Structure 1
Amino acid sequence: MTLIALATELLARSPAAQAVQKSMSLHADTANAIRSSEVIAAMGMLPELSRHWRRSQAVSLDSIEVGGTTAKFLAAIAHGSRLGVQIAVICSGATLVIRQEVSPGTIMAAAVIISRMLSPLSICSTAGGNGSMPRPWRSACTTCCMRVRAPA
């Protein structure tokens, strides 16, 4: 789960930053065109400017889509991994209950504990790439992921 959170952060950050940069550039170009609208209209450059804006907008939207698709894919993997771990814990607990080595309440306790343990990692991997993660969670996830990295 931690590796998935780290992968989400690393793979989704770059396309998101590129999309923001392209969007800012497009907005700056649009603002400049609006300021010079009379000159652009007088010179007959409006159709070409419109085509340029459409192309730039398409590139910006493509960058956003690439980052979003990557983040959604990794979030689905993280969610599936979390469910798999929870199912494994419950199945292991059920086996122990059938052998009468633990009580049925132990399964419930283990399920709650594993759910709470995996929750922060799930949040990191789900929201890490799209910028919607609250700042305290983002710093906690970055700290968590930094501990996992191999020493350089």
Structure 2
Amino acid sequence: MSHSGRKKTFVDPKVQGALVRRLVLHWCAFIAVAGLVAFCLQVLSNPFRTMEEHAQQVWWTHGPFLLVLVFLLPVFILDTIKLSHRFAGPIYRLRNTIRSLAKGEEFRPLKFREIDFWQGLAEDFNVMVARLRGDAVDAPPAAATIDAAEPTAVAAN
């Protein structure tokens, strides 16, 4: 059952909200540090000016850059939410599927959107459910075989 799109982009407020908060925190830290460095360089370039003159010069020199960054922040936030939707959405769907199975509802194989991360997780989950239900299952997906072989290969080195 493939979905071309989800109704909500902000599906997991805890995870996606944490990412957005971290992005805003990093953005503010960058602006503060860049402003401080610009101001220090301005003061060092001519230490005999007043602080007010330095602040005014920094604003005229770097103000347009700051305004561009202010207008880009919403774009950064929206892009972060869209990107995080590609991994928070599949986990949200997996969680809902697990809950429906726990309630005894009919199992429909899990399938994520093509752009979502963790495609192998859906395949592995479907194989696991089929085996637990006693259904005949073909060989495990290639991703499961590769994942299982990796620790052995690393241990051999």
TM above 0.5, one fold? no
Where is the helix percentage greater, Structure 1 or Structure 2?
A: 1
TM-score by length of 1: 0.35
Bigger relative contact order (CA 8 A; separation at least 6): 1
Larger-gyration structure (1/2): 2
TM-score by length of 2: 0.34
